[in-house]
Amino acid sequence: MTTTSHNVLPEELEDLVALFDVRGTDTPTPDDEREAALAAPRFGTVFTDHMARISWRHDSGWLDRRIEKYGPLQLDPATAVLHYAQEIFEGMKAYRHEDGSVWTFRPDANAARFARSAHRLALPPLTVDDFIGSIAALVRTDEAWVPSGADSSLYLRPFMFASEAFLGVRPAAQVEYLCIASPVGPYFAGGVKPVSIWVSEDYHRAGPGGTGDAKCGGNYAASLLPQTEAQQHGCDQVCFLDTTTNTYLEELGGMNVFVVKDDGSVHTPELTGSILEGVTRSSILRLVADRGYDVVERRIPLEEIVSGLADGSVREFFACGTAAVVTPVGRLAGSTFDHPVADGEPGELTMAVRTELTDIQYGRAEDKHGWMRRLA
């Protein structure tokens, strides 16, 4: 079996899943309770019966691949992650198609980013095979938890953390990898409607050489205070600027951003090292280019967007990520400006891209780029 493949074939998936020892719970959630939980879950509040887990020891590598009962972890108070935040995670989804089959979207891209994040946080790399095998084994065990309602899915949260009880500052010699799963509907409580954004001039998310392009908990912790500030200004989300000049758009607390101009061009901040390389971001770049738009990845001055909103040359603004998919932005505000995006309603391209992407993910449209992988 390969440990470096980037495109796991269906027959290989069987071998990868077989490596996981399924230690099923003896107290599964009763069918009626599960159905009730699946009816209208709030993002990230309900979890399935099991979790995937692999342990790592410095001297023996990854061992004990298993699916076990979902439940609390017992951690020594000296566990390194609690002190030094040596932790990474991913966000993915499993989608129920009309024929009952269950699929995921570009897991190879998430696996590759997980390995890059692990490298940056001095954690051991997990192979693509173990990453995808763990997800497939968990989804097969908890298949009944994959919802079938419109815009609903099983959100998958693979993560890895330093589990060694040791207060010295060095890479941990003991690490745990887990994947948990949570049935979800829309990320924002209001469903798919435009969100407002506050541009933070006082706080940054990440700087050059930092961890901005790694998906680690610390980046999200750093976004919480500015996010609170955004809410105090009446906005839903915070947008960060670059650390060096405080003038270029970077990303939101947990989503990439796109701008659509009236000349038919589509722009997104280029990957400078401090921006997360979103899987949804790169998929949208492809879909928009397929539609014939001029797609530009570059440094985008905030000033250009503010004046473009004022003079109407910026037609649409949207945010994207696995959890929120494609979310229209209806207003952009900061200490010296406050503008609606066009008429404040969802943009045409924004909603067209959202529909195209979700149609692929839910099996309603042809998967021209070979992005979908069947899990169950």
Provide the binding-site residues for ligand COI, judged by CB under 6 A. Answer: 91, 220, 254, 321-323
* Largest pairwise CA distance in the chain: 63
Q: What minimum distance in Å lies between the beta carbon of 186 and ligand COI?
A: 12
Q: What minimum distance in Å lies between the beta carbon of 229 and ligand COI?
A: 18
Is residue 223 a contact partner of residue 197, using CB atoms and an 8 Å limit? no
Nearer of residues 22 and 115 to ligand COI, judged by Cβ: 115
Q: What minimum distance in Å lies between the beta carbon of 19 and ligand COI?
A: 26
Helix and strand counts by DSSP (H, E) for the chain: 9, 18
Least Cα distance to 130 among 83, 73, 78, 64 occurs for 64
Is residue 143 helix, strand or coil?
helix
Which residue's Cβ has the minimum distance to ligand COI? 91
Nearer of residues 20 and 258 to ligand COI, judged by Cβ: 258
Nearer of residues 203 and 220 to ligand COI, judged by Cβ: 220
Which stretches within the chain are classed as H helix? Answer: 10-18, 31-39, 80-84, 107-120, 128-141, 217-232, 279-290, 302-311, 348-361
Nearer of residues 54 and 323 to ligand COI, judged by Cβ: 323
Is residue 267 a contact partner of residue 258, using CB atoms and an 8 Å limit? yes
Q: What minimum distance in Å lies between the beta carbon of 91 and ligand COI?
A: 2
Nearer of residues 29 and 280 to ligand COI, judged by Cβ: 280
- CA of residue 57 relative to chain centroid, distance: 27
Nearer of residues 321 and 346 to ligand COI, judged by Cβ: 321
Is residue 96 helix, strand or coil?
strand
Q: What minimum distance in Å lies between the beta carbon of 5 and ligand COI?
A: 24
Is residue 236 helix, strand or coil?
coil
Q: What minimum distance in Å lies between the beta carbon of 205 and ligand COI?
A: 13
The C-alpha angle 15, 18, 19, rounded to 5 degrees, equals 95
